[in-house]
Amino acid sequence: MSTETRLREQLCRCGESLFRRGLTFGSSGNLSVALPDGGWLMTPTNASLGDLDPAGLSKLDAGGRLVAGDKPTKEAFLHRVFYARRPTCEAVVHLHSTHSVAVSCLCGLDTADCLPPITAYYVMRVGKLPLVPYFPPGDAALAEAVGALAGRHHAVLLANHGPVVGGTSLQAAMDATEELEETAKLFLMLRGSAIRPLTPDEVADLRARAATSA
């Protein structure tokens, strides 16, 4: 099986898994993965992630031009800025998953890092989560704002919208996105309770461990 065929099938399996578990709904959310020739496979516009066709995925060349399949997601620009700013990025996941979106709508967030370090896996898989200010969907300023952060962060949270997460593989991007969504859920469950987040020393130790195992 060619790498492209394998990636097409993997992308569809990931979409179906996210949809089945309620992490995406309707035709929201989009996924992409880099191809060995420098192009990308992307989910098409208005497609349900629960019902993707491997042969219908949008195939873009290294210049971002559609070369096969259906028209790509209208949010393709979110993916492109991640690939442009992160040379190690091989896949991008963007969801409107409920708990992450709920956090993105809260007042008083620390815009440099929206969620406290409450679990070790959150620190290792997501790390810091900066907030991108609100812009209407498709606004060119949104791409610029995401691009300004994507070089330094593999996960960002779009205000009143949802997360965008890059990874060194589709599985890594999926794992980090799911860790973020579960941590957002825990954070909302714990609101009003006195939390003991991990200490700065504990966080530094985890980051060092994550860096040596990467």
Yes or no: say if 94 and 162 are a contact pair by the CB < 8 Å rule.
Answer: yes
SS3 107: coil
Cα(71)–Cα(139) distance, rounded to whole angstroms? 19
CB atoms within 10 A of CB 199: 10
- Strand order from edge to edge, sheet including 30-34: 66-68, 58-60, 40-42, 30-34, 91-94, 162-167, 155-158, 131-132
Cα(191)–Cα(184) distance, rounded to whole angstroms? 11
Task: For residue 144, give Cα distances in angstroms to 133, 171, 199, 205.
Answer: 11, 26, 33, 33
What does the block give as tokens for 151? 């070089």
Q: Which of 9, 16, 90, 121 is catalytic?
A: 121
Cα(50)–Cα(20) distance, rounded to whole angstroms? 7
Catalytic residue check, 75: yes
Residue 123: DSSP 8-state: H
Catalytic residue check, 121: yes
Q: Which of 4, 9, 16, 75 is catalytic?
A: 75
Residue 10: DSSP 8-state: H
Q: What are phi and psi of 157, to 5 degrees?
A: -120, 120
Residues known to be catalytic: 75, 121
